[in-house]
Structure 1
Amino acid sequence: MNEVFARGPSLSTRLAIVLVLSLSAMLIDTKVDSFATARTYLNSFVSPLQYIANLPGAMLSWSAERFSSRQQLLRDNEELTNQITLMSEQLQRFRILEQENKSLRKLLDAPVRDSMHKMITELMAVDTNPYSHQIVINKGAIDGVFLGQSVLDDSGIVGQISEVGTTNSRVLMISDVTHAIPVRIERNNVRFIAVGGGDLDAMQLQHVPHSADIREGDVLVSSGLGEIFPEGYPVATISKIVRNESRPFAEVIATPLAKLDRIKYLLLLWPEESAPTGAIAPDEVLSDEPQEENTEAAQ
């Protein structure tokens, strides 16, 4: 095997031959102008070999660039996904805030008699006793809350203050079995006593004669008797009347107008002469129009 590879001119001879050929080619290229055409053909012949020689490096660069682009796309996609998640959470909070803002504005726009001041309060807790309909609000004695004070939502009377603490208070709702409120029919001013039935969706009218002028759909408002609730605030609508002549009185069921099962913000009422400093006067009802006018005037 070694003898086969050892045949032929020696390495020194080969080097000398290559040098002579190279020098001759350079001399001919310099002195002979017509050799430029041959050089062009030679370059054309060798150029595919150059492309083939550069192909591995080009493929490696292309692969690296593609890999880098893919990694960048993955990072961008992850970042965009995180942004979408954060924006979705913010959008949910904004929707909740928007709904709360609408509820508060609707509550502030609730009709209040000219002599009454008001203050917004928020639900803190609900009594877990299934036989008691009571809630706790975040206003107390330091805010001027007093026993028997009227509590409303944007639709009607919710109940009255039954216990007062320093910073919170307990509200007895009109649906509680121990609660009673003097009412009158808005249509004809016939007066009754509405008592809670232990159901958020039902109240009962006591001692209603069979001959009483009362109809399903009649609106009951506070009569003002007893000096607990101000006169004229919505309480309930008549939903069912059963006149059984074998019984001394008709059975009358009313549905509270206040949304007792979805309370969040409530309104406390004070007479003008006893309103605390933080209460809102009737002429201070907030609305969008005055704010827009003030903005235009400022501009």
Structure 2
Amino acid sequence: MLLCAIAAFALMFAEDRFSRMEDLRAQLSTVVAPIQWVVSVPSDLLTWASLALSEQRELVEENRRLREQLLTLSHRVQRMASLTAENVRLRELLDAARQDDVPYITAELLSLDSDPFTHQMVVDRGRRNGVYIGQPVMDASGLVGQVTAVSAYSSRVLMLADASHAMPVQVNRNGLRFVVQGTGRYNALAVMHVPDTADIREGDLLTSSGLAGRFPVGYPVARIVGVEHDPGEPFARVTAEPVAQLERSRHFLLLFPPPPLEQADTQQLWDETFTVHEPPNVRGEP
């Protein structure tokens, strides 16, 4: 240790006094570099092996989840084939119009609003893709919100959880219609003005009712998670949880529902349906 200490002091003194020590240090570093690389190989191999094993475990787990999801979706598709055929037969009996699929384009998340009191996001589709204000947006699970601002290459979306957002819905089980409003939390929506005697239960699925012509009919919106009845109060306190993954989704669909009837067409239909015809003149007068 004493000899090492003397050598270290000698080297520090030589480096301070002689400028050529810098070149010597560079040459020694070049010589030592392969030794350092060889010494670091076991550590690098262990790191690579641990990452490979962890990624393999994640891939195996993801593969298992995808297989389960595939089986579930396969069961749903088989069930949907039967329901679709039954729906076609019922529509033929009722002579009802067929509901066509709603066109859509895909979009990806660009950014989220940093304001904790608003729930908005920006997606990578804009005016050049045909996006318009009021366009409904959904993810793989359900409706997410609607477009509130459009630029050439991006759009701002107001999500269901925002306290300023409200939309008409209906209970999928019995068709009762209500309005859900955001509460400022991602996992909670308020169902407004539910009569205390209304047939609504925990677990009921709320879907878009199509009223006001903004959202197409039949898309999942939320699921009832709480119904509280207060004695003497006319309305019950009903809360719902969005079915869309508002906090985790990164890919979305921008829907292009058919436009609602124009006001003139609606008025014409009203006039044709409810026109009162005067009785004929029995005396033959013009």
User: Is the TM value for this pair above 0.5?
Assistant: yes
* Residue ranges of structure 1 left out of the alignment (5+ in a row): 1-71, 274-299
Q: CA deviation at 1:269?
A: 0.9
Alignment of 1:154 onto 2:135: no
The equivalent of 2:122 in structure 1 is: 136
Q: CA deviation at 1:261?
A: 1.2
Amino acid at match of 1:209: P
Alignment of 1:241 onto 2:220: no
- Cα RMSD of the aligned pairs, angstroms, is 3.5
* CA separation of 1:90 and 1:117: change in aligned 2, threshold 3 A: farther
Q: Of the two, which has the highest radius of gyration?
A: 1
Give the Cα separation in 2 of the matches to 1:245 and 1:256.
28
* Residue ranges of structure 2 left out of the alignment (5+ in a row): 1-33, 78-98, 260-286
The equivalent of 2:105 in structure 1 is: 119
- Find 1:225's aligned residue among 172, 186, 211: 211
SS at match of 1:198: coil
Give the Cα separation in 2 of the matches to 1:140 and 1:236.
27
Alignment of 1:271 onto 2:254: no
SS at match of 1:226: helix
- Find 1:190's aligned residue among 176, 198, 205: 176
Give the Cα separation in 1 of the matches to 2:54 and 2:159.
31
Q: CA deviation at 1:115?
A: 2.7
SS at match of 2:104: strand
Give the Cα separation in 2 of the matches to 1:138 and 1:85.
37
TM-score, normalising length: structure 1: 0.57
Give the Cα separation in 1 of the matches to 2:129 and 2:46.
43
TM-score, normalising length: structure 2: 0.59
- Note the 1:1-299 alignment, pairs <5 A: 78-79=40-41, 82=44, 114-271=100-257
Give the Cα separation in 1 of the matches to 2:249 and 2:214.
21
Contact 1:138 1:169 in 2 (8 A): yes
Query: Deviating runs (4+, > 3 A) in structure 1?
Result: 72-96
Q: CA deviation at 1:114?
A: 3.7
Q: How many residues are paired up? A: 195
Contact 1:115 1:272 in 2 (8 A): no
Q: Which has the higher contact order (CA 8 A, sep 6+)?
A: 1
* CA separation of 1:77 and 1:231: change in aligned 2, threshold 3 A: farther
